[in-house]
Amino acid sequence: MKVSISRENTKTIQSDMFGLFFEDINYGLDGGLHAEMLENRGFEFLECRGSFANYYQFPAYRYGWNPYPVNGNTYLDIHEEAPLNEVNPHYLRAVVCRAGEGFSNKAYDGIYMKANVACDVTFYAKGKGKVEICVLSESGETLAGSQVIEIEGDCWKQYRTSVVSDKAVHGGLFTVRFLEPAVICFDQFSMMPTDAVCGLFRKDLAELLKALQPGFLRFPGGCVVEGSQLTNRYQWKKTVGPKEERKANWNRWAVHNNDGTELVLSPWPYYNQTLGIGFYEYFVLCEYLGCKAVPVLNAGLACQYHSRELVPSDSPEFQEYVQDAVDLITFCNGSVDTEWGALRAKMGHPEPFGLEYIGIGNEQWETEEVDFFYRYQCFEKAIHEAYPEIKCLGSAGPDVETDRHKKAWEHYTPILEERPEYAYAVDEHYYVPDTWLYEHVHMYDNYSRKNKVFAGEYACHIYPEAPMGKRNCFRAALAEAAFMTGLERNADVVLLASYAPLFARIGYTQWQPDMIWFDSEKAYGTPSYYVQQIYACYTGDTLLPVSCDEDAEAKKLYLTASMDSRSGKTYVKMINAGEEAASLKLDGVKAGKVKMLVLNAAGDDCNSIEEPEKVAPVQVLVDTDDIITVPAQSVVVLIQE
């Protein structure tokens, strides 16, 4: 088959087209990307129960904390008189009657420490007595310990120490051990490895993100933005400032798997948000990744899938939601002379973050009860009156083949024809089988060129009934790669795109498949991770037309090409979803030997903790003068300098 690549009739590809979507789902933040190792560090957790429009919470302030030893003479209770602060008022009072005893923290699956990598420990305390911080083995052996810490005083004071081990620690028990009988109050513990990226992010997970070279990061969700109730929606103003003064919240995903009856309970009732990573830290993460930030804000609606709760759009309370959006832009871009710019500077970043995008609502749609389009108009008007340069992102709902999706474009299209700035792009979501992705490779060919899309959440759900790992098999990634040729080919319509969800902690999942899996010690990228990496790292800024002398797609062969005008590199993607290898003669590329990355595996192959790179790209050299062989069932990118 002859493949011709033209340098005429090109299209522009946005430099930030392929990015990341992040949400605190599957313990992806607390217990994941946030390098904090302890659970319920501020004694504010809630036990979360309920189902559609009927959610309730119970105090679980001592969740994760137990006497050590369990059958010893230590008594733990929760107090709130004279707290560290009124925002998070609960704290632990420990009565220890015997030296050598104390209390411990669950710490997810136990403490993991790398050999010779210290962990910093901080906490607030008041009382009188001597303690030490230890990491113990199951048998009680001290694997890592601190110097003696003397607690003295009736006022809250922060204490700092560190622990280190010359050997790797697996499943250790974080323990506060008293050296003498005493009564001491504690609050706001933290245990962070000193190799945490930016002092905040788990190193291996952050590095996996960095290797993707994303164009943007959309955060903090997802349904977390909305909450199952408005009380647990994500409120960015409560996530900035001193960490101990950020109001802890329960996570909407704590109640995900309920079926509407009282008898079916979620297995994750203690999934909470400590907000140790808030909006400021998300922007710091974007700077580390070298990508643009795409924050998404609540539009006065709880999750429409799980609630009917809303704030009336004609109420003063709704105007507070709108003002929050304007204030966020000031926090990111405003002068240090403004209230919110001053807070940004106080937190350590006097220079503006340079925010360009803002998302208005997550997965929202219009109904008889929900006037989302009017709400969007209110946000867009207020934002552009204050900051006309900001790019607003709309929502087309949770799918692309329903009346609600059609109704969304009936709203946006006529306005965009008159005012393109009304929505820089409209967020579309689809979690679909592999057959759907192949059938819809040309979906965006038929969109109006004035309608701009943010493919904000998509993934191939190939085996809903399959075991956890198999859902991230190569067959799913191959279908995603084929579909993404349609995204790239329609880069004049699809301006932004991101796979979802991003992270999953093994044993703590509410949703799968996911791009990156991890446990307390290790992490790996799925085949979908490597597909996303190929698109993010090997897509230029100029789309080059591709034509063939045969019907390539009849053979399940999908092709795109692009050029980077700055470096002069050309990238040719060749996705062969067929059962036979394809032999291609490329016309329109320079002659000579070039590098080619090949991602090739059996359909059900997937990566795992034990085999993290079973499916990963392999580099080969090919000569463009020769026939190029694209293996069956493969994702290939040719990189010409």
The CA–CA distances, whole Å, from 349 to 341, 355, 588 equal 9, 14, 48
Take residue 154 and report the two structure tokens written for it.
């009736």
Angle at 523 between CA 520 and CA 526, to 5 degrees: 140
C-alpha span between 291 and 237 (Å, rounded): 23
Dihedral angle sign, alpha carbons of residues 323, 332, 280, 269: positive
Pairing assessment for the beta strands 357-360 and 292-297 based on DSSP bridges: parallel
Looking at residue 521, its amino acid is: E
Task: Give the integer Cα–Cα distance in Å for 248 and 103.
Answer: 22
Helix axis angle, 316-333 to 372-386, nearest 10°: 40
Residues 6+ apart with CB under 8 A from 149: 130, 131, 132, 133, 159, 161
Beta carbons of 221 and 54 less than 8 angstroms apart: no
Q: Which of 328, 301, 310, 318 is nearest to 236 (CA)?
A: 328
Reduce the secondary structure of 89-142 to three states and give it as a string: CCEEEEEECCCCCEEEECCCCCEEECCCCCEEEEEEEEEEEEEEEEEECCCCCE
Is the sign of the CA dihedral 432, 434, 435, 436 positive or negative? positive
DSSP 441-509: TTGGGGS-TT--EEEEEEEE---TTS-TGGGG-HHHHHHHHHHHHHHHHTTTTEEEEEES--EEETT--
Q: Give the separation between CA 273 and CA 230, rounded to whole angstroms.
A: 15
Q: Assess whether 610 carries a catalytic annotation.
A: no
d(CA 452, CA 422) in angstroms, rounded, equals 11
Buried b (16+ CB within 10 A) or exposed e, 482-516: bbbbbbbbbbbbbbbbbbbbbbbbbebbbbbbbbb
* Distance between CA atoms of residues 531 and 600, nearest Å: 11
Specify the length of the chain in residues. Answer: 641
The catalytic residue among 39, 363, 480, 488 is: 363
Among 106, 133, 124, residue whose Cα is nearest residue 243 = 124
Here the tokens at position 389 are: 């340069």
Q: How far is CA 199 from CA 33, 246, 272, 494, in A?
A: 12, 18, 22, 35
Q: How far apart are CA 338 and CA 344, in angstroms?
A: 10
Sign of CA dihedral 249, 253, 259, 264: negative
- Gap between the Cα atoms of 527 and 164, Å rounded: 35
Cβ density class 377-402: b for 16+ within 10 Å, e for less = bbbbeebbeebeebbbbbbbbbebee
Q: What gap in Å lies between CA 295 and CA 393, rounded to an integer?
A: 10
Catalytic residue set = 363
